Structure 1
Amino acid sequence: MTVRIGLYFGSFNPIHNGHLIIANHVAEYGNVDKIWFVVSPQNPLKETKSLLNEYDRLHLVKLAIQDNERFHASDIEFKLPRPSYTIDTLTYLSEHFPQHQFKVIMGSDSFQNIGRWKNHDVLLRDYELILYKRPGFEVTGTNSNVTMLAAPLLEISSTYLRTQIRDKKSIRYLTPDIVADYIHENRYYL
């Protein structure tokens, strides 16, 4: 039996409730069986100076999702050449897990930059994309491999959380308590 996996790529620096709400919505409405949070060690389109160590970010993801059997934290990109390119990860996963069907979860903001992605034409041709709408980033002219979802969104970001932490402000209710406590105990992002 084919297992449909929604791949949610991200730095998760740190993971927050906005990520979890989107993942849960895709799990419910995106025609997938499981969501894999693929922690990216290095996004080729983002700066890395404020990036927490990838194993620490992976641990925070594991803490955040530990009570949801449909969610899985993946370190697959830790083992692949860097920087991480989505198409390379998909190729690797498709070869090593032929029993799974992989779909890519992304925001409409990321989709607007897809022309800058490595082998984006192959990605669009061979893989289904599940897009969630982001305000101000409308998507038009998609193909049959693209599914649009209107997931509930929170106006929070990992950048905002890092700023709150540096300013010694609370991040309670922005990320699961277990994640907030672990960040505080380990003095991450200070």
Structure 2
Amino acid sequence: MANRCVPLVLLACGSFNPITNQHMRLFELARDHLHSTGQYQVVGGIVSPVSDSYGKQGLVQAKHRIAMAKLALQSSNWVRVDEWESQQPDWTETVVTMRYHYGRILKEYEQGRGMNNNSNRNATSSSHSPQLKLLCGADFLDTFKVPGLWQDEHVEEVAGRFGLVCVSRGRLQPEQAMHESDTLSRHRQNIFLVREWMRNETSATEVRRALRRGLSVKYLIPDSVIEYIHKHHLYTEDSERRNKDVVLRPLSKQVQQPVNSWDD
């Protein structure tokens, strides 16, 4: 049956400051849901931390966020951390990151189709070209409504060209955001809403707050990440003041740059 399904890669973009168990649960929930449709075979997952130039208050250096994400995902055999976005000199729009990864995925797919050895047969047996979808939590859809944060053309491309897999989060339900957005409603067939039945409202913000106050975060983030945080003295009162008076780069960049085309 798998070879009749569309191969699909899930991409999660964000601060991952730090990565939490809930971040990783999104991948598992999304994969289960997509497999249950009988239409897709999830073949990979990508965690793409944002660059330091994002300018969000309390954002620790990308090298630390990358290291923590890699430690957290050591036990996963299908989700990996990618450093490309985090290494860009300026903040990168989500849609640009998606274009980059989709280009890589297509290239790897075409190279794989040209190989006939047994190790690549399962990965290339599908007659469908691979797809890439953006994986996010319910709160992400609300960012589309923030004035100046997204270009309309980018929302159109993310939802229409690629598609989204959105997981409910606590009391936040994505159906409302879908209803209120003409663009999301128009592309609703390309947006998968996944319900998390076991409510988990763990957030990186609350984890950082607990760490600043010397409280335990065990079972909220992996032990290896906790050890790394303590070793490098991350998430202190000083680190939380970082970028305190900085305007988020998306808000300033959108004013400065023209709209990018899909081929950029």
TM-score by length of 1: 0.88
- Contact 1:18/1:153, CA 8 A, preserved across alignment: no
Q: Show structure 1 runs of 5+ residues with no match.
A: none
Q: Of the two, which has the highest radius of gyration? A: 2
2:46 pairs, out of 36, 49, 65, with 36
Structure 1 residue 122 corresponds to structure 2 residue 160: no
Question: What is the match of residue 60 of structure 1?
Answer: 68
The count of corresponding residues between Structure 1 and Structure 2 is: 188
Note the C-alpha offset of 1:113.
2.5
Report if aligned partners of 1:16, 1:176 keep a CA contact under 8 Å in 2.
yes
| 1:189 match | 235
| Partner Cα separation in structure 2 for residue 187 and residue 165 of structure 1 | 10
Q: If each structure's strand is expressed as a fraction of its own residues, which one has the higher value? A: 1
Q: In 2 relative to 1, CA 96–20 (structure 1 residues): closer, same or farther, beyond 3 Å?
A: closer
Find runs of 4+ consecutive structure 1 residues off by over 4 angstroms.
none
Out of 216, 219, 225, the residue aligned to residue 173 of structure 1 is 219
Using the aligned pairs only, state the percent identity.
Answer: 23
1:108-153 CA-partner distances (Å, limit 9, x unpaired) = 2211332542311122110121011132344244321001101244
Alignment RMSD (CA, Å) = 2.1
- Map 1:127-166 onto structure 2 (within 5 A): 127-134=162-169, 135-139=171-175, 140-141=178-179, 142=185, 143-151=188-196, 152-166=198-212
Q: In the alignment, is the contact (CA less than 8 A) between 1:3 and 1:101 conserved in 2? A: yes
Structure 2: unaligned runs, 5 residues or longer = 35-39, 110-129, 180-184, 237-264
Q: What SS does the corresponding residue of 1:33 show, helix, strand or coil?
A: strand
Amino acid at match of 2:155: H
Cα distance, 1:43–1:10 mapped onto 2, change above 3 Å: farther
Letter in 2 for 1:166: R
Secondary structure of the 1:144 match is helix
